[in-house]
Amino acid sequence: MQAAIPCLLALAALLAGAGAAHARLREVQIDVPVKVANMYGKASEQAIKVTVFFDDTNPRPAPVLVLNHGRATTAEDRLKLGRARYSEASKFFVERGFVVAVPTRVGYGVSGGDDVEDTGSCSRKNYPPGYATAAAQTLAVLEVMRNRPDAAKDRAVVVGQSYGGTTAATIASMNPPGVQASINFAGGGGGNPKTHPQQPCGPQLLERLFRSYGETARIPMLWVYAENDMYFGPVYPRQWFQAYTAAGARAEFAQYPPHGDDGHSLFSRFPEVWQPRVSEFLDAVGFRAPAKKDKP
């Protein structure tokens, strides 16, 4: 994998406070070349845009965290994604010592390209190829990030929201070297709150998928959902989790009461809800936050 090509440098002191002793959230955009294929085997090769957040006053080498976005239900909305950032969540993870990479994958927003993550019509879902494609891009980003002089080569966490959450489980099933934990926020597939709320396409296929992941996964995971998830509902995520852990995987499950009109957006809209639980999980798997810097 060739080195990342810096495209747009946008250094921003986004954290509150003044003085050199305060944390500083910095942001850059890089290009990462990827080679992927869709569910029919058609290959695509292009660069994707990746937003990188870091604090150059954090201890180095910093562990790497790759944070994957979800999948909108329409092609128009997938293009409207723009550049994936998750700035609030990224700030949280940077404050815990990570250098954070947020890819905009092939077929979305500023990266553009073919819809390589399509998994077919609702009545004929073929989930594995779509998530394998997202996972391949995640591994490409991880490889590039590890070449940064401020990044650890052997300490990483993969996190994702919705489609990205299932991708985090896909990565866990692959046990890539140096990836030591994974977090799934509202993971699943085939959901559409407008046309079939809380009734995803082929839920039994997703159960089978997660069971297959659990057969090989050895990386600890945390799964985070809300009861009023309008994509997947309150029951299916628990069934998927039970299938995953019954197959042998090590994971923890957190399901919160209803939040907002659609708990599927818990990750982006209610960070104060999940951050304490995620902090506990990261502490337990060896990613403790660095000591607070003294104010000047």
Query: Is 223 in contact with 253 (CB distance < 8 Å)?
Result: yes
- pLDDT tens per residue across span 240-276: 999 999 999 999 999 999 999 999 999 999 999 999 9
Residue 95: give the domain boundaries: 5-284
Mean pLDDT value of segment 37-44: 96
Per-residue pLDDT for 7 more than 80?
Answer: no
pLDDT at 8: 35
> What DSSP string runs through 20-45?
TTS---EEEEEEEEEEEE-TT--EEE
Q: What is the pTM of this model?
A: 0.91
Residue 90 in any domain: the answer is: yes
Residue 159 in any domain: the answer is: yes
Residue 296 in any domain: the answer is: no
pLDDT at 291: 87
Confidence of residue 158 (pLDDT cuts 50, 70, 90): very high
Q: Cα separation of 93 and 112, whole Å?
A: 27
Measured CA distances, 1 to 47, 142, 152 (Å): 11, 11, 17
- The enclosing domain of 89 has a CATH number of 3.40.50.1820
Residue 289 in any domain: the answer is: no
Residue 290 in any domain: the answer is: no
Tokens 């890539």 locate to: 176
Confidence of residue 20 (pLDDT cuts 50, 70, 90): very low
Residue 75 in any domain: the answer is: yes
Residue 108 in any domain: the answer is: yes
Domains contained in the chain, number: 1
Residue 291 in any domain: the answer is: no
Q: Cα separation of 86 and 99, whole Å?
A: 14
